[in-house]
Structure 1
Amino acid sequence: MLNPSKDLRTYFLVAPQTLVFLFGLVLPIAVILVVSFWEFNGIASIPAFTLKNYIGIFTSPVYLKTYANTIRFAAIVWFVCVLISYPVAYYLAFHIKSAKWQTILFLVCTVPFLTSNIIRLISWVPFLGREGLINQALMALHLTNKPIEIFLFSDFAVVLAMVHLYCLFMVAPIFNSMMKIDRALVSAAEDLGASAFEIQKRIILPLSAPGIAIGSIFVVTLVMGEFATMRLMSGGKSSSVGYLIKNQIDSLQYPAAAANAVVLLILTLLIVFAMLRVVDIRKQI
């Protein structure tokens, strides 16, 4: 027989999370969706129902190029983060035997995150600028006779800054996955004569896949919504959907900004769902 008081307590327990979910996520997205169908007369937003904002996104070469550019940056940053994070996580998990030193070295990786993103972005300017340390070193070594322009206010600077900002979001889940791998599997493979490459290919990489997928979701979703890094590190030469939305909000074009936000959200969710179809991350949750 059901106990009404017990059922009531269950509802009270889930009520706080439900309210936070509704008012912190569902309601704001619903408001953005409604505003995306409004009209903008050049001065103010007018409540209405029009598909003009969405039609403009899918028919404008500028918008389509901006979305393609955003996806390109997300793919490049994701790829570089995987290349850097996998060896770091592998070294921490398999070559550092002491749990104490694993913790210490992992905390060292988090030190840059003790400062704000803006400070970390600005800190690259003295290194990448025309008179920065990199150009001065190259000129001192006579590798070039003039400053190289691509280091700052370029796509290279944007990718470098984003990798710096988000690489830890890839290292942490991969490291967590590798720590859960049974070391007896690796020992058995070594006893059977498997090479280091075969162990990586058949044991460590497949069992680390859920961590890579989780890190990929973090990195891709963060890069897809970036605007500050794009503005500061590209010098206005490159654009992203996040930067586009920010400019539309600054110019009070709320319906167009809301429509772009909805399309960006759907696009990001499609990418995440595609990752989830490839790798099952439930083992890591």
Structure 2
Amino acid sequence: MPRSNTATGWLLAAPLTLVLAAFLVLPIVMIVIVSFWGATEFSIYPAFEFDNYKYLFGSSVAWQVFGTTFRYAFVTWALTLSIGFTVAYFLAFHVRTLTWQITLALICTVPFWTSNIIRMISWIPFLGRNGIANSTLLSMGVIDQPLEWLLFSDFSVLLTFVHINTFFMIVPILNTLLRIDKSLIEAARDAGATGPQILWNVILPLAKPGIMIGTIFVLTLVMGDFITVRFMSGSQSANVGRLISNDVGLLQYPSAAATSVVLLCTVLIVVAGLLRLVDIRKEL
């Protein structure tokens, strides 16, 4: 490649590189640096010590919070994958016209016309003790008294997570399924394969890149969330994001930075493991 073309390429990439360095790399570097600082009840002082990490890894509460975070992430992933793959499969193979595929896919975006906070809070009057769900069940005679676990519980947290994040699973899977050559399915059917066999041996292997992309979206969003857990659990449960938020509220920035670094490393390890399972560069 001529030197002039190389220089032109570097010049074109320079603005984006500077933006990423200023607004992504530099903040992360600062968080890592602050995570080694020390703090007292009244001050924060620059230092290079591992007290924040020692306290974090030595705290049983922190381990429980990380366990809760992984539990929320895994259950949300399983439910969003089940719902997202089903919806994407229906749109890709049972909706025949492109117009209806686009229309129904756009309908899936309707919840995104409002903010996450509004969609989250909208569940409270529905799941409350005197909410729509309990009132309906009582009027139908299904239950004798209101169900207390519908709201401010793990159920409400997971329900909201699934509601908010399912779309991030539908889109990449749908994009992958639409690229599958229908002649492969016809060939498998002509060879005597049943519907489940076609699904397991043809469609799922070809849909792996979309599934992995959706998995990365859902896991990273759930593991970094803290507002949903705070509102929908009634402050009765906590995840890592909530732990960081509490430390920031108490002005314990070094402790919050250390927890953020551990969470970031955990997410990066999970994403790196997923990227080794399938080459998703074909989908990007």
Same fold flag (TM > 0.5) = yes
Q: Say what the alpha-carbon RMSD is for the aligned residues.
A: 1.0
Contact 1:139 1:145 in 2 (8 A): yes
- TM-score under structure 2 normalisation? 0.98
User: Deviation per CA, 1:232-268, whole angstroms, max 9, x where unpaired?
Assistant: 0000111000011011101100000000000000011
- Residues 108-147 of structure 1 correspond to what in structure 2 (within 5 A)? 108-147=107-146
In 1, Cα distance between equivalents of 2:227 and 2:240: 12
Q: Which residue of 1 aligns with 2:256?
A: 257
Q: Which residue of 1 aligns with 2:35?
A: 36
Residue 67 of structure 2 is aligned to residue 68 of structure 1: yes
SS in 1 for 2:238: coil
In 2, Cα distance between equivalents of 1:11 and 1:274: 31
User: Deviation per CA, 1:30-85, whole angstroms, max 9, x where unpaired?
Assistant: 00000000001111211111100001111000011101110110000000001101
Code of the residue aligned with 2:49 in structure 1: it is: T
- Residues 188-199 of structure 1 correspond to what in structure 2 (within 5 A)? 188-199=187-198
Code of the residue aligned with 2:241 in structure 1: it is: G
In 1, Cα distance between equivalents of 2:27 and 2:43: 20
- Residues 189-268 of structure 1 correspond to what in structure 2 (within 5 A)? 189-268=188-267
Aligned residues: 284
Structure 1 runs of 4+ with >6 Å offset: none
Residue 8 of structure 2 is aligned to residue 6 of structure 1: no
Q: Which residue of 1 aligns with 2:49?
A: 50
In 2, Cα distance between equivalents of 1:35 and 1:239: 23
Code of the residue aligned with 1:90 in structure 2: it is: Y
Structure 1 position 7, deviation (Å)? 2.9
In 2, Cα distance between equivalents of 1:276 and 1:4: 34
Q: Which residue of 1 aligns with 2:164?
A: 165
Q: Which residue of 1 aligns with 2:177?
A: 178
In 2, Cα distance between equivalents of 1:143 and 1:155: 22
Structure 1 position 23, deviation (Å)? 1.0
Q: Which residue of 2 aligns with 1:103?
A: 102
In 2, Cα distance between equivalents of 1:44 and 1:147: 48
In 1, Cα distance between equivalents of 2:185 and 2:37: 59
Code of the residue aligned with 1:76 in structure 2: it is: V
Contact 1:85 1:167 in 2 (8 A): yes
Q: Which residue of 2 aligns with 1:276?
A: 275
In 1, Cα distance between equivalents of 2:261 and 2:214: 23
Q: Which residue of 1 aligns with 2:147?
A: 148
Structure 1 position 279, deviation (Å)? 2.0
Code of the residue aligned with 1:215 in structure 2: it is: G
Contact 1:89 1:171 in 2 (8 A): yes
User: Deviation per CA, 1:156-191, whole angstroms, max 9, x where unpaired?
Assistant: 000000111110000000000101100000011111
Contact 1:44 1:252 in 2 (8 A): no
* Structure 1 stretch displaced more, 214-223 or 265-274: 265-274
- TM-score under structure 1 normalisation? 0.98
In 1, Cα distance between equivalents of 2:70 and 2:270: 10
Identity in percent: 48
SS in 2 for 1:171: helix
In 2, Cα distance between equivalents of 1:178 and 1:4: 42
Q: Unaligned regions of 5+ residues in structure 1, if any?
A: none
Code of the residue aligned with 1:15 in structure 2: it is: A
Structure 1 position 275, deviation (Å)? 1.1
Q: Unaligned regions of 5+ residues in structure 2, if any?
A: none
In 2, Cα distance between equivalents of 1:97 and 1:146: 46
In 2, Cα distance between equivalents of 1:171 and 1:233: 24
